[in-house]
Amino acid sequence: MKRIAVLTSGGDAPGMNAAVRAVVRTAFENEIEVYGVMGGYQGLLESDFISMDLRTVSNIIQRGGTILHSARSEEFKTMEGTLKARDVLEKYGIENVVVIGGDGTLAGGNRLAGTGVSVVGIPATIDNDVGCSDLTIGYDTAMNTVMSMVDRLRDTTEAHKRCSVVEVMGRDAGYIALNSGIAVGAVSILIPEVEYDIQRDVVDRMNRTLHYGKNHFIIIVAEGAGDSEKISKRIKEATGIETRLTVLGHVQRGGSPTVNDRVLGSQFGHEAIQLIKKINDKSSYALGYINKKIVSYPLEEALKIKKPMDMELYKVANEISI
């Protein structure tokens, strides 16, 4: 019987459990034995494995986070650590590893693949910044969480005629900021991919909307777009409007996954096993979701794919937010 392992690594993302569930249940249907690795690559180094079956993944599809837990591992990033991980897998007779996470997780999988281990990567990150996939597990839930939180914040913002600056996740990517910003009707959206001028892109836009009778404002800032606290102070100084900063932080990672993330995670997990059934060598792949279909790429090539920001959507945001 073929024996595989599955792990989740990096930042947790709602829908990871759906992917783990699909991996285990599809493997069971195809007579493949599955070990879960507790705590990502660090757990792999420590041989922290659990045997998984149909019942170990019962009642998890609706849960956020990951039942396999996650951890950062500096040791795994070294050649010695990667070779140690390979040796652990060989000791347990594990032929393939499914890794679920973002770019860092897929890069770790690629290092492991370089030692002769067959790896299948599933993109899961709320930032949606994996180049080989239009959508990543957790992204839809995170956007809906931001939308829900800002909808609530808007009530008090409007009541007090304030400006609310809301910092959302996205150190290197503005996908959450752009899409949630449009969804909540933000007057201005600041993302790391686009250079901006506070006076022109925020203050002047607010003054223009003031002229047309608007008296409360939502500004969405991706965390990588600048210092949100300084931006808030600058707005208050330039407009005289009471301005409050809200940092949503890790609340965006949590919560029950949306329908879209449960389905996407399930599709990815199922396809990972279908791919493993076909692998008869040491090749490694990353899965992606392109044009509403699950696709696969050689893992090393997948890591080289860059995802451009949707500038047409950014233009839409600017033209409808006045």
Q: How far is CA 233 from CA 19, 69, 241, 242, 245, in A?
A: 43, 39, 10, 9, 9
Query: How many Å apart are CA 105 and CA 7, to the nearest integer?
Result: 10
Is 103 marked active-site? no
> Could you write out the three-class secondary structure of the chain?
CCEEEEEECCCCCCCHHHHHHHHHHHHHHCCCEEEEECCHHHHHHCCCEEEECHHHHCCCCCCCCCCCCCCCCCHHHCHHHHHHHHHHHHHCCCCEEEEEECHHHHHHHHHHHCCCCEEEEEEECCCCCCCCCCCCECHHHHHHHHHHHHHHHHHHHHHCCCEEEEEECCCCCCHHHHHHHHHCCCCEEECCCCCCCHHHHHHHHHHHHHHCCCCCEEEEEEHHHCCHHHHHHHHHHHHCCCEEEEECHHHHHCCCCCHHHHHHHHHHHHHHHHHHHHCCCCCCEEEEEECCEEEEEEHHHHCCCCCCCCHHHHHHHHHHCC
Query: Which one of the listed residues 12, 48, 103, 127 is annotated catalytic?
Result: 127
Contact 257, 64 (CB under 8 A): yes
The catalytic site residues sit at: 127
